[in-house]
Structure 1
Amino acid sequence: MPQLFDPITIRDLTIPNRLWIAPMCQYSVTARDGVPTDWHLMHLGQFAAGGFGLVISEAAAISPEGRISPQDAGIWNDEQRDAWRRITAFITEQGSVPGIQLAHAGRKASTFAPWGTDGQGSVPIEDGGWSTVAPSPEAFPGYAVPEALDDEGIDRVVDDFRAAAVRSVDAGFQVIELHAAHGYLLHQFLSPLVNHREDGYGGSLENRAKLLLRVVEAVREVLPAGLPLFVRFSATDWVDDGWDEHQTATVAAWCAERGADFFDISTGGAVGGVRIPLSPGYQVPFAAHIGSTGVDTSAVGLITDAQQAAAIVADGQAEAVMVAREALRDPHFALRAATELGVEVAWPGQYERAKPRT
């Protein structure tokens, strides 16, 4: 079996190890124009210097109305693309791979950021908010009621994902991830708890997956042949009769047939009031289940130490491990994990003097 610090090749891209940074929303574009800032350079760059093989950006909105909050970063115009180039160049210079997560928040858009503001729920139009969209005109608890997307609106979403992918490649990103998790727009279409349409995008699993599959096809068409395409899924809604790991595995296979290469497995987010049984590595079994059907997956969720991360890969539960909050606590977690596992990895020359000696 592969080990945590073994490289992995996906299409033409070789990622130097299997310890990766998961997307983490920063809500830090104070100008509200979607343009990433010095904060994003520092935030993502520190993980590249810290030894992580793949560093994926926060959810980058494909359109202004696709932002979770007015403070979100985006990739819907050329100014944003150009600002991302500085960040991808730095990540690449450190020997890591820059990835971007493309997202549309759907009915969970236009909300107050969780810090730096006094509001909660949806941002009023007069305060810089906007009308939201979803598969059905039903609100997430505490948020404004969205408008149901019509066929023209759905086509526009597909076009926006395609255009964002083109800009992302131009910006220097080497992995593109589609965000179909955490209750955002693509997940909203997938979940029978949220999607109550009666047309060709609702009802059966095939219909609920139609938008995601269209996006996968549209994005794959404009990507270089050797550039990997990831999809992030929430493997369960944690509610009976909701989206689950079996539907996820089926749709992942359909995505793979259309050119997706790798599946980043998380859980939850579609509906409110859900009690999630948190424990170390609580989402790993979902990655293992979906991976057992023949696709490659990564695992995430309360993975906080080197031995735990190494065992997930060595035991074949996932091809890679995503880390988020532990990386916030220790941006050099990958370097520390390599030391604890007795693996020799390159340190930045500036930090070499701090490398533990045996």
Structure 2
Amino acid sequence: MTTSPLFEPITVRGVTARNRIWVAPMCQYSIDARDGVPGAWHLAHLGSFARGGAGLVMAEATGVSPEARITPEDTGIWDDAQRDAWRPIVDFIHGMGAVAAIQLAHAGRKASTYSFSGRGTMPAEEGGWETVAPSAEPFPGYGTPVALDAAGIRKVVDDFAAAARRSVDAGFDVLELHAAHGYLLHQFLSPLSNHREDEFGGSLENRARLLLQVIDAVRAEVPDAPLLVRFSATDWAGDAGWDEAQTATVAGWAAEHGADFFDISTGGNTTGVTIPVAPGYQVPFAEYVKEHAKVALNAVGLITEPAQAEAVVAEGRADAVMLGREMLRDPHFALRAAHELGVEIDYWPKQYDRARWAA
């Protein structure tokens, strides 16, 4: 048997993941009661990845308030009933040897939408709600949001901090702030969506102010929890939008404020752009941010094969990889990767031992 950098443990602020194969947060839109309380589906979904050998399993974009949800069927972490419902899920992930993480999110102008269909804003009579944003400008095809005032911004900061506290109380090891894919924190960062003329708009420092305030508030509430930030490193909109250079600069500031690790994706803040989707197409953005910001991070984006994932880490392009769709197809990707790369691991579930590949 051989060794592989993909299967070397990695430690972030005292929390150690057994390997560098991590599960990306993926919305399930599966809470029929619309109360934000996770249930059996979430246990089966997230638990399968932990059982399958992943080093870190991250729960989906979870609303820090009712109005923060992408859809009414999203998970939440704004009340104690939700906190308590997450605990058995976290316990199962831990029991399988994986690190339990949660992505804390506010969808902003992309909130109150229809699950699965891709349709725009859901009206109040169907269970939707008023959306908010840095500016009163809609995402294409969506309803017009309300521009946040000072009190609204303060509430967003407080909601993230309270959600972080509940997440740690639920047993989550790692927290991630969702500042990507066109959701609220990304909306503030990008000049495409932020046209404010106060201290939260204009310059890069001003556009980053909300994110940094959220990091400060989360750190004050949970000083010891590893904290990740997910960025979209580009809007794919050229000079008019958010790009990798701005991402690297703000990642450096975020690290100074207490963020430990970064999760580099792209896109989501506008429509009508050309995205050159191909295997590993977002890895160069992670590599750029790592090189220029000197921070630890993971790469994402159509990473589907063990050798491909191994190369990303071995070549120093990222410190870990996050897989999404490939994990849905194969929750046991990490076990298969160990076999294909010739790595001996000791976390095959005993109930599945007869399914081991021959050496």
CA distance in 2, matches of 1:296, 1:315: 14
Equivalent residue number for residue 326 of structure 2: 326
Residue identity matched to 1:230: L
Residue identity matched to 1:237: D
Equivalent residue number for residue 350 of structure 2: 349
Q: Deviations over 1:31-56 (max 9, x none)?
A: 00000010000000000000000000
After superposition, where does 1:174-323 map in structure 2 within 5 Å?
174-225=173-224, 227-240=225-238, 241-293=240-292, 294-323=294-323
How far 1:120 sits from its partner (Å)? Answer: 2.1
Equivalent residue number for residue 31 of structure 1: 33
Name structure 2 gaps, 5 residues minimum.
none
CA distance in 2, matches of 1:184, 1:327: 24
Equivalent residue number for residue 99 of structure 2: 97
Residue identity matched to 1:139: P
CA distance in 2, matches of 1:8, 1:321: 12
Where 2:44 maps in the other structure, the secondary structure is helix
When the two structures are aligned, how many residues end up with a matched partner? 354
Residue identity matched to 1:24: M
Question: TM-score, normalising length from structure 1?
Answer: 0.98
How far 1:272 sits from its partner (Å)? Answer: 1.4
How far 1:263 sits from its partner (Å)? Answer: 0.3
Residue identity matched to 2:64: I
Equivalent residue number for residue 79 of structure 1: 81
Name structure 1 gaps, 5 residues minimum.
none
How far 1:2 sits from its partner (Å)? Answer: 7.4
Moved over 3 A (4+): none
Residue identity matched to 2:49: F
After superposition, where does 1:142-181 map in structure 2 within 5 Å?
142-181=141-180
Equivalent residue number for residue 20 of structure 1: 22
CA distance in 2, matches of 1:287, 1:220: 24
How far 1:60 sits from its partner (Å)? Answer: 0.5
Equivalent residue number for residue 9 of structure 1: 11
Residue identity matched to 1:78: D
Equivalent residue number for residue 69 of structure 1: 71
CA distance in 1, matches of 2:195, 2:209: 14
Residue identity matched to 2:48: Q
How far 1:221 sits from its partner (Å)? Answer: 1.2
CA distance in 2, matches of 1:317, 1:221: 32
CA distance in 1, matches of 2:252, 2:4: 23
Where 2:199 maps in the other structure, the secondary structure is coil
Where 2:97 maps in the other structure, the secondary structure is coil
CA distance in 2, matches of 1:162, 1:5: 33
Native 8 Å contact 2:181 2:266 kept in 1:
yes
Native 8 Å contact 2:83 2:169 kept in 1:
yes
Question: TM-score, normalising length from structure 2?
Answer: 0.97
| Residue range with higher mean Cα deviation, 291-300 or 179-188 | 291-300
Native 8 Å contact 1:190 1:209 kept in 2:
yes
CA distance in 2, matches of 1:148, 1:66: 14
Q: Deviations over 1:2-50 (max 9, x none)?
A: 7000000111111110000000000001100000010000000000000
CA distance in 2, matches of 1:2, 1:56: 23
How far 1:224 sits from its partner (Å)? Answer: 4.1
| Residue range with higher mean Cα deviation, 340-349 or 202-211 | 340-349
After superposition, where does 1:108-127 map in structure 2 within 5 Å?
108-114=110-116, 120-127=119-126
Residues 1:32 and 1:332: Cα distance change in structure 2 (over 3 Å): same
Native 8 Å contact 1:193 1:243 kept in 2:
yes
CA distance in 1, matches of 2:88, 2:144: 38
Where 1:113 maps in the other structure, the secondary structure is coil
Native 8 Å contact 2:4 2:343 kept in 1:
no
Q: Deviations over 1:81-109 (max 9, x none)?
A: 00000100000000000000000000000
Residue identity matched to 1:129: G
CA distance in 2, matches of 1:238, 1:187: 14
CA distance in 1, matches of 2:319, 2:85: 31
Residue identity matched to 2:19: N
Q: Deviations over 1:111-140 (max 9, x none)?
A: 00015xxx8211111111000000000001
Residue 335 (1) aligns with residue 317 (2): no
Native 8 Å contact 2:160 2:218 kept in 1:
yes
Identity %: 67
How far 1:273 sits from its partner (Å)? Answer: 1.6
Residue identity matched to 1:319: D
After superposition, where does 1:55-66 map in structure 2 within 5 Å?
55-66=57-68
